[in-house]
Amino acid sequence: MKILPLVLFSITILNAHSASAHTALAQTVPADGATISAAPESAELRFSAPVRLTALSVQMDGAEKRSLGPLPSEATEQFTVTLPALEPGHYIVSWRAMSEDTHVMSGEFMFTLGPTGSRAEHGETGNHNEHGETD
């Protein structure tokens, strides 16, 4: 009869471990670390599962942080948000989101806009995850 408590304990541990696998930022446009020659009109964030985006901002080195929005109220895996007119420089896009299991995560991705600065195409993949690590 000592086996039953051990089996129940093992099942509980396995369930807790699988529940701790949280959603992550899977891709950004512009790509994290990209140097682009044309100012992007929007930023895209793609997550591994639906999240509710609760904050999003862009900041150029030495300038004030600017909030981006409006942000959708529904949870989804992909967000596209219009960027303000950007001048050449180094930018950090910061985000905060809540997953369906109510886990709050945040992170950032960076890109550099080269001196040509006209609005057109932009980067592809890459990101810093919720722990600041590069995928």
Domain boundaries, the chain: 23-119
**pLDDT above 90 as % of the chain:** 63
Given a contact cutoff of 8 angstroms between Cβ atoms, the answer to whether 66 and 87 are in contact is no
For residue 36, the one-letter residue type is: I
* DSSP 8-state symbol, 69: -
pLDDT tens digits, one per residue of 60-76: 999 999 999 899 999 99
Fold of 23-119: Immunoglobulin-like (2.60.40)
For 133, other C-beta atoms within 10 Å of its C-beta total: 10
Helix (H) or strand (E) holding 17: helix 3-19
User: Can you tell me which residue has the tokens 């040509």?
Assistant: 116
pLDDT tens digits, one per residue of 28-44: 999 999 999 999 999 99
Q: What is the 3-state secondary structure (H, E, C) of 103-114?
A: CEEEEEEEEEEE
φ, ψ dihedrals at 66, nearest 5°: -115, 125
Q: What is the pLDDT of residue 86?
A: 96
